[in-house]
Structure 1
Amino acid sequence: MKERRSYIDLIWWLVLIAWSLTILFPIVWVLYESLKTNPEFFQNVWTLPDHPQWMNYKKAWLNYNLLTAMLNTLYYVGASLVIGTFLTALNAYALTRIEFKGRKFIWGMIMLSLFLPGINALIPQYILMRDLHLTNSLTGLILLNCLGESVFFLMLLGGFMRSLPRELEESGTIDGASIFKMFIRIIVPLSMPGIVTVAIFKFIGLYNSFLEPFIYLSDSSKYTIGVNIYHANMLMQYTNDWVTLFAGVIITMIPSVLVFMFFQRWIMEGATLGSVKG
């Protein structure tokens, strides 16, 4: 029986290694292509560069105006992350810890929304944003993302908060704490692993967001990093400067990769605790 388990483990290891290679190979390929010259790239896309062209990164930074795009993305992602995560935690607390009439009905409607593709709300959202004069505005995008709650994050954090003992709030009520004070002083600190997990997933989703910034932003000075790289890609039909584009892609990948590397322990612990306790 022991040998059988070892044999199965070996198969799973091979499957996981093969799967990881399918993810890593495109990244490595783009990395070494970004260090070539354009003649080298068009001559053979599989060979390594003769002399690494680090100037491609400087050229991408300047030609694609990545500094402005990064600052726009920082404002959009940062504000959406802080406000959106707070609202998600507040909503999860209200729906899991506070007894009120219609709570089960609200949860039922939230579960029902899982069967509705988000693309269906695109046109009504755009009409509403247009009528409120919030199109072509990063602040409008922030409001749209903060007020549009994600069912997945609500379920994850709600499952985590539901597992906390009721005695904590009972003791807070005896001490005269308000509902909001109990939320800030008791629930938030104890739910921090789940909140950090939600925040990291939100960051990755917001940083890689393309459709909404692409639809709502028309001024190039307000482009986020995803839309900026998309327009840089569109220029390739006129310039064919692919190695500079690859360098720009690598630059834009760095923030999300670093965030995942530094916070992967929080992601694993928070997701596991939320699923087990919920």
Structure 2
Amino acid sequence: MRTPRTWIDFILRLLLLLWAITVIFPVIWLLYESLKTNPEFFQNIWALPEKWNWVNYKHAWESYDMGRTMLNTLYYVGVGLVLGTFLTTLNAYALTRFAFRGRKLIWGLIMLSLFLPGINALIPQYVLMRDLHMTNSLTGLIILDSLGESVFFLMLLGGFMQSLPGELEESARMDGASLFQVFWRIIVPLSTPGIVTVAIFKFLGLYNNFLHPFIYLSDPAKYTIGVNMYQANKMMQYTADWVTLFAGVTIAMIPSLIVYICFQRQIAEGSTLGAVKG
């Protein structure tokens, strides 16, 4: 039997609608501003363009060297995503499926790190990266972000793995499977929903990451998309070519929007499933 809606439900839906508008409207505004000319932009920022100037996107692609920047971002995000997701899965498996001395202490330290702002590790990380000669390197940046484990991802995937029955591993070991075979052929396939959720969050985090690339990359030829757009924004005080900048920002946000739109259900279901089962 369907529960009748009350006035509270309508208020909540109205609040959600207003919240959605505050998110969608800036994106729509950015899109039609990127199709204006600069005189139109300065005359009235709220008016629609008289003519769709798609050439702004060509200018943005060429002016900001978006092709090379996208390749840098693809390398950084792609390799970092695969390596980071594998290490997170391995760490979650070791901390949830093995009973060893000191495991509770390790989990306690991991939980304690939630109370420490990540910015506190910035200086020690930079000193370490400098001493290892890994600054101004996309590969060094990948290693830093892959080895820097996230507590949220460990808790999410660890909670999911804890729900798996231990009899599966015992049966596999009795059949002669090695430790890695148990992990790769049993735990990983059964944990696919949680792993996919972690991978999506990692992709969005890596693609939108600005601080680490901004600090560690000094060569413009190695910039990722976030740093490249920041440098383009700084140039506006000299050029004031805002419509080209808006076109570049639109190009930059397309991959993350596509990933989020395609996998939004997996993000919601995976996050809830890991939390409930943990």
Q: TM-score range by the shorter chain?
A: over 0.9
Q: How many residues align?
A: 277
How many angstroms does 1:276 deviate by?
1.6
Aligned-residue offset at 1:3: 9.1
Deviation at 1:6, TM superposition (A): 2.4
Is 1:111–2:120 an aligned residue pair? no
Deviations 1:195-232 (A, max 9, x none): 00000000000000000000000000000000000000
CA distance in 2, matches of 1:251, 1:3: 44
Deviation, structure 1 residue 272? 1.9
Quote the Cα distance in structure 1 between the aligned partners of 2:219 and 2:3.
63
Where does residue 24 of structure 2 map in the other structure? 24
> Which residue of the partner structure matches residue 132 of structure 2?
132
Q: Distance in 2 between matches of 1:125 and 1:21?
A: 40
Residue of structure 2 in register with 1:98 after alignment: 98
Pairing of 1:93-242 with structure 2 (within 5 A): 93-242=93-242
How far apart in 2 are the matches of 1:114 and 1:21? 32
Q: CA deviation at 1:4?
A: 7.7
Aligned to 1:36: 36
Name the SS of the counterpart of 2:47 in structure 1.
coil
> What is the alpha-carbon distance in structure 1 between the residues aligned to residue 75 and residue 97 of structure 2?
32
1:66: which partner in 2? 66
Q: Tell me the alpha carbon deviations over residues 164-187 of structure 1, each in whole angstroms, 9 at most, x when there is no partner.
A: 111111111111112211010100
In the TM superposition, what is the alpha-carbon distance from 1:265 to its structure 2 partner? Answer: 2.2
Per-residue Cα deviation, 1:32-80 (whole angstroms, up to 9, x for no partner):
0000000000000000000010000000000000011100000000000
Q: Aligned letter for 1:156?
A: L
| Residue type at the aligned position of 2:65 | N
Counterpart code for 1:123: I
Whole-angstrom CA distance in 1 between matches of 2:68 and 2:81: 19
> Which 4+ residue blocks in structure 1 deviate beyond 6 angstroms?
none
**Aligned residue type for 2:148:** G
Distance in 2 of aligned mates of 1:161 and 1:3: 35
For 1:259, the equivalent position in structure 2 comes to 259
Which amino acid is 1:51 matched to? K
Superposition deviation, residue 117 in structure 1: 0.5
TM-score, normalised relative to structure 1 = 0.98
User: In 2, distance between residues paired with 1:16 and 1:262?
Assistant: 21
Q: Secondary structure at the match of 2:49?
A: coil
Who is 2:45 aligned against?
45
User: How far apart in 1 are the matches of 2:143 and 2:103?
Assistant: 25
Distance (whole Å) between structure 2 residues aligned to residue 158 and residue 249 of structure 1 = 36
What is the TM-score of this pair, normalised by structure 2? 0.98
Distance across 2 between alignment mates of 1:119 and 1:269: 30
Gaps of 5+ in 2: none
SS in structure 1 of the partner of residue 164 of structure 2:
coil
Measured in 1, the distance between the counterparts of 2:259 and 2:118 equals 27
| Structure 2 CA distance for aligned equivalents of residues 244 and 109 of structure 1 | 47
By how many angstroms is 1:9 displaced? Answer: 1.1
**What is the distance in 1 between the residues matched to 2:112 and 2:131?**
28
Q: Give % identity.
A: 72
**1:269 Cα deviation from its structure 2 partner:** 2.0
